[in-house]
Amino acid sequence: MFCNKAKGIGMMRRKAKTSNTLGAPVGPIMNQESDGRFGYVAPDMAVSNTRKGSPDPVALTQGRLWIDGKARVLLCASVFPFRIPRSQWEQRLNAVKRLGYQVIDVYTPWNLHMREPGKADFSGRLDIEEFLRMTKRAGLYALIRPGPYICAEWDGGGLPAWVLTDPKIRARQHDEAFLEAVRTWYQQIIPIISRQQYAGHGHGGPVIMVQADNELDFFDCEDPTGYIGSLASMMRGMGVRVPIVVCAGQGDMTRAGADAATVAPAVNLYPDDDDPDFDRQVRYYRLAASRRGAPLVVTETNRVHRTLRRLVGSGAAFIGPYLQVSGWDFDYGTSVNSWGSLEAFMTSDYDFGGAVDPAGGERPEADQARRLSAIINALGDRLSMAQVADEEAIASFAGRIRAEGRPLSLDDPQLGLGLLNLAGGGELLTLTNVSEQNLELEAERGNGSPDRWPLPAKTGVMLVRDLPLGSGCFLEATSGELTGLEFDEKTGVRVQVDAPDMIPGPLWLRLAFPADTSLDKVRIDGDLIWHPLADACEDSVQDTGLGDEPVNGLVLSGKHGILQMKLITPEGWKSITVQLGQPVTRVQASHAPIVRLESVGKAECNQVWSSPSALIPGSRLPMLEERGLWYGSGLYSTRCCPDGIRGMVLRQAADVVGLQWGDLVMPWVANGGGDYWMPLDGSAIQRTDDEDPLLSIRVGIWGHSNFDDTRLQALRLSAGRGLSGVLAVHNVLPLNSGWQVTEIKRWSSPGGKADVVLPGQDPVPRMGFGGWSASYWPRVVTYTRFLPSSSVSYPVEAGTRSPSRIKNASLDRMLDQESLLPVGALHFKGCRCKCEVELNGCQIGTITPYESTLWLGPLQATDRLTIRTWQTWGEPTGTIELLVGEPIADWTLRTQNLTMLRKSASRAIFKDQRLPVTCPPGSCLWLRISRSALAQTQQRGSTIVRMQGQGLQVTAFGEHTNLGRLVLGGLPGTIFAGGRGDLLIVPQEEGDLSLLIESTGKEAGRLETIQLGGAVDLNSESGDR
């Protein structure tokens, strides 16, 4: 107890017991947090929340998101039906509802619904209209994103490979050919969306917004306004009436197309969760959206709720944490991109750690989702009609808060600060401790003692201040979070405040009453202590706290309990009920048993491929998309003599390459679409007298890029997969000496323009490659030399010329007429800079730290090689090898898709095999796990399957679906990102699990263990989540 005599305010401690009981019983103390919903609002507490203007059921105007004429603040979770078994759709929608979210966002991949030109599929797991009907039945709204580009770490970003690889089409440009292709897709999907639009007051479907394209400001679109305008025009012409939004992936609304007519801006904000400036960034974009008349719609952001609180607390109206509900890529839906490494392969499990895991289980973040939802619901119209305080007001407010004795500022490195002026009065203060240090905060309160509360490291709170409760009463301040607020004409005001879910412990709450208010009746249960505030420290008040003496307010403290009081105010009787509580854990851990298999079914593998193509003329090979293969693998085969071969250059190879030549097996590698140098020892290959050994190069498509990145060919949206040529190399020559330096460009001038420096001409400086030294950086140095004569001579066997080909005696290989000359390639070692390569003045290509080999083409003794090295701060140029040989011809091509793999599995005859299982180099086998074994460890309709091993790719099949791929032991040239990459999820309706096991290395692959059951986030050592 303390008394501030300077203010004449007394505070008296009163133990928790009944005094002058109210007529209505308190009832049991609530053991769970409120969801914040309330019904009747007293007339004197009503907040104006009516939109002026058109009666559209959904509108993004006047800086607000309006539904049925009421402003809303909405939380949205990503739920992608194509990544969830259809049998589990309802469970996932209910999981979103359980989080307290009101909206889902839904991608619809063009290339999944239209795997071939002109053929659309909306059946089974692709029945998007039924999914939207289920969404409405679950009581959720939907933001639907039909592309054409969706990103989503999905194959090609949702764009069909047959569109991307068409040289006549310029994808994601205001290009007539591309827009016509998009029209064929929109004619399928937009009528479904139009039928499922929200029509107002519960009528129609759940769709409240449609997004056109996605994150266009990441892409080099020449006319974003024209492109987005054309997409929006198509949508409107096909019946879309709800708002159309365009999201800026990096905040550039103009480059994202937001200047197009009839669209509204949105942004994706992915901050560092510990960035103290993030609140200011949110306010910055809210102001930018308001200048366009729109609310701040954040279509994607992080999943951590202490970050999502900051969005709400700084004025966002729509908050969409991306992938809050995780999923799974079925049927070869994975992509490649530049996550974490320049080329990363996306895992089949699509999981960024959201509140709901890929199997449908809740993670601890789900409880924080429910808390934020409760705060939003409790504030209701007060929040949705709130105004963001200006920066000057926030700075002034920050100066009145002290952390560890120092005043805060907007540039504080430890704390993020948001401040909203709530509609109808009061403030919402959002504080986030982004530091590693526990903080004690205090806020000045006039001449009174400051309010204090703890803020541990990496936690946040949302605190209301001066919130009107009617009849002149206020919730003046609290250390807890408002999770329930109800006004009832019979029972009065009911307030629920819970300890912050990240900071459980004792709470305090202070109410303020109007002058001449007295307490008539009080009832209290739980461990609460209450302190009436009076005009003077008189004994009579301190003894009882009740009676005719006036009180200014009341302080309540404790962990949990309920206080009911009846006040006599100048306006009449006023009933207030206050409940204090603690966070409640509602997350349900997985209880699925864990079983380690001792044996599995095993069968020999005879893979099914298409019939061999006709002999491919010449040495130029077709990419797989040219043969109509959008997903799967290709097998390029020929017979040739290995004598004298020192290696091969594989031209434009992507994604996964494996080579087998007779009994020589090379390990699989990932390559990003550039030319790849594969050294090998041809003398180790056995041959027979009858024929040359078979050379087979298997190229698997992991996926098409969902980004567009010029650093690797395979990361371009338009890049195909496969091979375009193979160079048999019989000579490897160093090219590190004999270079002349002919020109230098430097950027040392103050204006930033390049100066050209011409070296002396008598003599021209001659040195080793990369040897030029000078005092200035950055610089571009031009090195030139002639090719060595030894690289362009080889014997031609007399009498073998024909109009179409010649026979090379040294290699016993048939070559194309275009290759009467030897063909060369450059291979750089240790190069960390950009090198532009010219041959006889013609641009050939570029060497970078990411692409170290470059196919040059035919060579002659008079060829002049020029290389320009771009160095910023002295990056090494490395060493150069000239690879000389002849392109191999006479290939055939076979392809393999999922249907063929399933056919192979159906032919397999399984026998019991104890684990571990080995798979010899260059071979494969089938394994099977019975449905009965899977059923023993199911939970929520699925079984988790984990495998440990080395040197294997595992492709999983149920009875209906390809369930994904795992690579055990990694794959040179790439990393795996987007999920865990160490498990499979098998829905119960898939029956037996068939596993295609393929060896990926020079040594035998080995599958050590298979474990069934447990949770997605299973700790392999403890067995706990």
**3-state SS class at 9:** strand
**Pair 847, 871: CB distance under 8 Å:** no
> What kind and span of H or E run contains 497?
strand 492-498
Please provide residue 628's backbone torsions phi and psi, each rounded to the nearest 5 degrees: 80, 20
Write the DSSP symbol of residue 43: G
Range 486-492 average pLDDT: 85
- pLDDT above 70 for 1023: no
Which residue(s) pair with 1013 in the sheet? Answer: 594
- pLDDT above 80 for 15: no
- pLDDT above 70 for 714: yes
- pLDDT above 60 for 18: no
Hey, CA dihedral for 143, 149, 151, 152, is it positive or negative? positive
> What kind and span of H or E run contains 279?
helix 278-291
Give 71: exposed, middle or buried? Use CB within 10 Å, 0-12, 13-18, 19+.
Answer: buried
- Alpha carbons within 13 angstroms on the beta-carbon side of residue 920 total 7
**Pair 384, 73: CB distance under 8 Å:** yes
**Pair 1025, 1015: CB distance under 8 Å:** yes
Q: 198-207, 533-542, 997-1006: which range is least confident on average? A: 533-542
The pLDDT tens digits for 232-248 are 999 999 999 999 999 99
Range 267-284 average pLDDT: 97
pTM, full prediction: 0.91
Range 392-399 average pLDDT: 92
Q: Are strands 349-350 and 327-328 parallel, antiparallel or unpaired?
A: antiparallel
Q: What is the pLDDT of residue 490?
A: 78
**Pair 452, 441: CB distance under 8 Å:** yes
Which residue(s) pair with 568 in the sheet? Answer: 518, 573
Hey, CA dihedral for 72, 77, 82, 86, is it positive or negative? negative
Range 616-621 average pLDDT: 92
Q: How many CB atoms lie within 10 A of CB 67?
A: 20
Distances in whole angstroms, Cα of residue 456 to Cα of each of 33, 417, 459, 502: 21, 15, 6, 8
**3-state SS class at 817:** helix
The pLDDT tens digits for 306-356 are 999 999 999 999 999 999 999 999 999 999 999 888 899 999 999 999 999
Q: 132-136, 382-386, 603-607, 684-688: which range is least confident on average? A: 684-688
Instruction: For residues 783 and 478, give the distance between their C-alpha atoms in angstroms, rounded to a whole number.
Output: 72
Instruction: For residues 569 and 315, give the distance between their C-alpha atoms in angstroms, rounded to a whole number.
Output: 35
Q: What is the pLDDT of residue 102?
A: 98
Q: How confident is the model at residue 11 (pLDDT cuts 50, 70, 90)?
A: very low
Please provide residue 166's backbone torsions phi and psi, each rounded to the nearest 5 degrees: -80, 115
Report percent pLDDT > 90 for the chain. Answer: 78
Write the DSSP symbol of residue 237: H
- pLDDT above 60 for 914: yes
Q: How confident is the model at residue 548 (pLDDT cuts 50, 70, 90)?
A: low
**Pair 128, 190: CB distance under 8 Å:** no
Q: What is the pLDDT of residue 30?
A: 36
Closest CA to 238 of 182, 177, 292: 182
Q: How confident is the model at residue 861 (pLDDT cuts 50, 70, 90)?
A: confident
**Pair 262, 232: CB distance under 8 Å:** yes
Q: Are strands 297-301 and 656-661 parallel, antiparallel or unpaired?
A: unpaired
Q: Hey, what are 633's tokens?
A: 């693998």
Across the chain, what does the average pLDDT equal?
A: 89
Q: For residues 490 and 584, which has the higher predicted lDDT (pLDDT)?
A: 584
Closest CA to 398 of 418, 421, 420: 418
- pLDDT above 70 for 447: no
Q: What is the pLDDT of residue 791?
A: 67
**Pair 104, 142: CB distance under 8 Å:** yes
The pLDDT tens digits for 63-108 are 999 999 999 999 999 999 999 999 999 999 999 999 999 999 999 9
Q: Hey, what are 279's tokens?
A: 């609140």
- pLDDT above 80 for 1018: no
Instruction: For residues 108 and 151, give the distance between their C-alpha atoms in angstroms, rounded to a whole number.
Output: 11
Q: Are strands 64-67 and 70-71 parallel, antiparallel or unpaired?
A: antiparallel
Q: For residues 1023 and 526, which has the higher predicted lDDT (pLDDT)?
A: 526
Q: How confident is the model at residue 44 (pLDDT cuts 50, 70, 90)?
A: very low
The pLDDT tens digits for 155-202 are 999 999 999 999 999 999 999 999 999 999 999 999 999 999 999 999
Report percent pLDDT > 70 for the chain. Answer: 89
- pLDDT above 80 for 717: yes
Q: Hey, what are 414's tokens?
A: 């430890």
Q: What is the pLDDT of residue 258?
A: 97
**Pair 51, 295: CB distance under 8 Å:** no
Q: How many CB atoms lie within 10 A of CB 761?
A: 8
Range 495-514 average pLDDT: 93
Q: What is the pLDDT of residue 35?
A: 41
Range 107-130 average pLDDT: 96
Which amino acid is it at 1024? Answer: D
Range 787-792 average pLDDT: 78
Range 124-151 average pLDDT: 98
**Pair 51, 59: CB distance under 8 Å:** yes
Instruction: For residues 837 and 55, give the distance between their C-alpha atoms in angstroms, rounded to a whole number.
Output: 63
Q: What is the pLDDT of residue 543?
A: 40
For each of the domains in the chain, give its residue range(s) and CATH number, in order of start: 10-48+381-581 (no CATH), 74-325+360-370 (3.20.20.80), 594-605+908-1013 (2.60.120), 624-723 (2.60.120.260), 732-888 (2.60.120)
- pLDDT above 90 for 37: no
Q: How confident is the model at residue 729 (pLDDT cuts 50, 70, 90)?
A: very high
